[in-house]
Amino acid sequence: METLVSTQPVSDFAPWNNPGEVPLVHFDGVTKKFGDFTAIENLSLNIYEREFFALLGPSGCGKTTMMRMLAGFEHPTKGNILLGQGNLQEAPPHKRPVNMMFQSYALFPHMNVEQNIGFGLKQDKTPKAEIKRRVEEMLSLVQLEPFAKRKPHQLSGGQKQRVALARSLAKKPKLLLLDEPLGALDRKLREQTQFELMNIQEQLGLTFVIVTHDQEEAMTVASRIAVMDHGKIVQVATPAEIYEYPNSRYSADFLGDVNIIEGRTDISTGETASLYWSDEEAPLTVSTSLRLPAQTTAWLAVRPEKLRISKDKPPTSDNCIQGKVWDIGYTGNISTYHVKVSNGSILKAQVSNQERLADRPITWEDTVFVHWDKGAGVFLET
Amino acid sequence: MALADITTPSQETEQASVQGSGWRRSLLIAVPYIWLLVFFLAPFVIVLKISLSDVVLARPPYFPTFDISEGWQGFVAMFQAFDLENYVWLTEDTLYLKSYLSSLKIAFISTMIALVLGYPIAYALAKAPKEWRSTLLMLVILPFWTSFLIRVYAWIGILKKEGVLNYVLLWSGIIDEPLTILNTDAAIYIGIVYSYLPFMILPLYAVLEKLDYSLLEAATDLGCSPFKAFWVITLPLSVSGIWAGCFLVFIPAVGEFVIPDILGGSSTIMIGKTLWVEFFSNRDWPVASAVAILLLIMLIMPIILFQKQQEKQAEASQ
């Protein structure tokens, strides 16, 4: 909203790079099974104070299970979860300094907005005057002062979402869990609320853990993202790191759009590698520190916006492939050219539309050259 | 919001089509109205008329009677013969007041017992695994497959001095001599609670089953112990079910005749029994009718309250 505070540069804040830093939350070899089904498999993870940490993955990847274990609604089958210095295992949900914002909001329908927000404080036997003060503080934080006396069914979806947020923040928990907090909002409101969430987190100096399947949301709000798949963490890093340096095809594919080219390697030097992707064409060159034995199957992941496309063969380029324009995806600000190359696979190249539509030279069935630098892509062994 | 916007136009067209064939809608509404008119309002007027008449040794045992052959004159004469004598009589003999009060007391206590027993059962049903629920619900309804009368008679066999209950208690050594339960108030309470318990369980189950479990998780997450969460979340949110269940037990229990007659003793007076005695033993139809009319008025009050409560609930859930 209007109170958009400028966000601190992310690089200033990186406790995960400091080996002396004690994590706020420490998952230590946690396994969770539901009957025969393994939801979380031997997972270790650190989350630091003041982080906005995102658990990202498709439904069924175990991200919600991790959150519910933090809240105390589920218990690890094996392993420990530490919060600060204390072991969380012993504490029942109502005795943890952890609050959760539910995906369904779970607002108490028989209480008004004020009573909902004050509920947690009331349970702690906080003095009445203090509850009143804190509730007012929360109401102004989420800009809902005029709605204090309304019941949940008299609120819009966005307002409910704010009440749920205010309620979970009222006790100033050490750790706030957000389970798909914006899933029920429409796109515009969701984008606006993402920034609000970040501001609130910064203003209050709390640690947030968010569960989401929306990669854009995770990239916008989070200081770090854990990409999850089938109960395992694939990669934990900052959004930029995951986007630019994914460690696997899975995380490359999960965050953003990507071209993945399969091939065989020759002996890599530790600086660059060659990828033989087609019998007829020249190998592709990639900058990489990976050393793989020759003839191993490997992949090159390169983002569509890093590919350039032209009708004439570029004079110098590390990698250049000839193809035919198969399809053009026009989304206004950018156009995505789907180029069919000699082995039949499709490469996507994104071009931002700086000129008006009619002036653009490349169209369907044109023979084009797709080219990129050796540093544009990432060399992957899994 | 968006959903409401989408549904509105279709509702409008639906309404238009219904209004287009207005007579069909009237016909549909007329059916229950005619039913109530024939089977409720007409008998009610007849009973009201008898309650204003005088008892006579005749057939039928009251006067005046309505004779259509005397025309308008006869109609006026009949009205002139009406009086409130029977109602005055009801206030003069304390038996009737005692019967009414005793009925209210028994119905109230039975309702409370049914609530205390029914709530945990409904809660357990609502919390049972999904695949079990319909079976368990079936078990609650199953007794209705046997005649009500037979089930009440069966309690004689259980409660009498040499009945099943006493046999088991004596055999297990809990008691030394048989308990007298049959023909006491306790037997009436057992009978009423047993018979009307499903009416308590079903509405409670309906609300508890719909209760959003994440509300309880949210409450415990905010520092509320699970025990307290029941009192501050589950109970307030099941109030509509509690009201519905209580009314469904209370209303028929007030007018209950069969259970006190079969299981109760001679010292227990309930209005249903008093009415029966008045009608069949005393053959005083006018007084019996007056008792019935007063009973009806007494029962209409909680029914109106019940309706109000339901309306409020419907408004709140919108």
CATH at residue A336: 2.40.50.140
**Number of structural domains found in chain B:** 1
Inside any domain, residue A5: no
Q: Spell out which residues of chain A touch residue B318, defining contact as CB-CB under 8 Å.
A: 153
Q: Is residue A228 part of a domain?
A: yes
Q: Would you place residue B317 in the very low, low, confident or very high pLDDT band (cuts 50, 70, 90)?
A: low
Residue at A331 is within a domain: yes
CB contact under 8 A, A98 and B226: no
> Residue B18 above 80 pLDDT?
no
- Last residue of some domain: A184, A216, A249? A249
| Any domain includes A37 | yes
Q: CB count, 10 Å around CB of B131?
A: 7
| Number of structural domains found in chain A | 2
Task: Report the CATH number that the domain containing residue B258 is assigned in CATH.
Answer: 1.10.3720.10
Beta bridge partners of A319: A372
| Whether A3 contacts chain B with CB within 8 A | no
Instruction: Write the pLDDT tens digit of every residue in A184-216.
Output: 788 888 888 888 888 888 888 889 999 988 888
**Do the Cβ atoms of A153 and B318 come within 8 Å?**
yes
Inter-residue contact A112 to A151 (CB < 8 Å) = yes
Query: What mean pLDDT comes out for the span A102-120?
Result: 92
Q: Kindly report the nearest CA distance between residue A124 and chain B, in angstroms.
A: 7
Task: For residue B277, count other CB atoms closer than 10 A to its CB.
Answer: 17
Question: Tens of pLDDT along B253-280?
Answer: 998 888 998 898 888 888 888 888 888 8
Whether the CB of B316 is below 8 Å from some CB of chain A: the reply is yes
Domain match, A180 and A280 both: no
Domain check: are A366 and A230 in the same one? no
- Do A191 and A224 belong together in one domain? yes
Q: Is residue A205 part of a domain?
A: yes
What is the tens place of the pLDDT at every residue in A242-259? 888 888 888 888 888 888
What was the ipTM of the complex prediction? 0.78
Q: Is residue A161 part of a domain?
A: no
With respect to residue B47, please indicate whether it lies within any of the assigned structural domains. no
Claim to verify: residue A275 and residue A359 sit in the same structural domain: yes
How many whole angstroms separate alpha carbon B41 and alpha carbon B48? 10
Average pLDDT, chain B: 86
The rounded distance, in Å, linking the Cα atoms of A50 and A163 is 22
Q: How many CA atoms lie within 13 A of A88 on its CB side?
A: 30
| B111 domain-assigned | yes
Supply the range of the domain harboring residue B207. Answer: 86-316
Residues A200 and A52 occupy one common structural domain? yes
User: Which chain A residue has its CA at the smallest distance from B220's CA?
Assistant: A94
Judge whether A102 is closer than 8 Å to chain B, CB to CB.
Answer: yes
How many CB atoms lie under 10 A from the CB of residue B4?
Answer: 8
pLDDT, tens digit (0-9, with 9 covering 90-100), for A272-312: 777 777 777 777 777 777 777 777 788 888 888 888 888 78
Q: What confidence tier does A380 reach under pLDDT thresholds 50, 70, 90?
A: confident
Tokens of B26: 């009237």
* Domain annotation covers residue B66: no
For A77, the domain range is: 10-97+173-249
- Read off φ and ψ for residue B261, nearest 5 degrees: -70, -40
Give percent of chain A above pLDDT 70. 95
Amino acid identity, position A254: F
Domain shared by A54 and A193, yes or no: yes
Pick the last residue of a domain from A222, A249, A276: A249
Q: Chain B within 8 Å of A29 (Cβ-Cβ)?
A: no
A278 and A372, same domain (yes or no): yes
Q: Do A276 and A194 have their domain in common?
A: no
Read off the pLDDT of residues B26-58 as tens digits, 9 standing for 90 and up. Answer: 889 999 999 999 999 999 999 999 999 888 877
Asked if residue A167 is part of any domain, the answer here is no
Same domain, A241 and A283: no
| Whether A71 and B237 lie within 8 Å, measured CB to CB | no
Whether residue A139 lies inside any domain: the answer is no
- Domain-terminating residue out of A249, A283, A310: A249
Q: Is B223 on the interface with A (CB under 8 A)?
A: yes
The reply to whether A357 and A306 lie within a common domain is yes
pLDDT at A63 over 80: yes
Summarize pLDDT for B97-138 with one digit per residue, the tens: 999 999 999 999 999 999 999 999 999 999 999 999 999 999
On whether both A179 and A65 belong to a single domain, the answer is: yes
A189/A230 same-domain check: yes
Does residue B233 sit within a domain?
Answer: yes
Asked if residue B199 belongs to a domain, the reply is: yes
Q: Where are the alpha helices (DSSP H) in chain A?
A: 63-71, 113-123, 128-141, 157-169, 187-204, 215-221, 239-244, 249-254
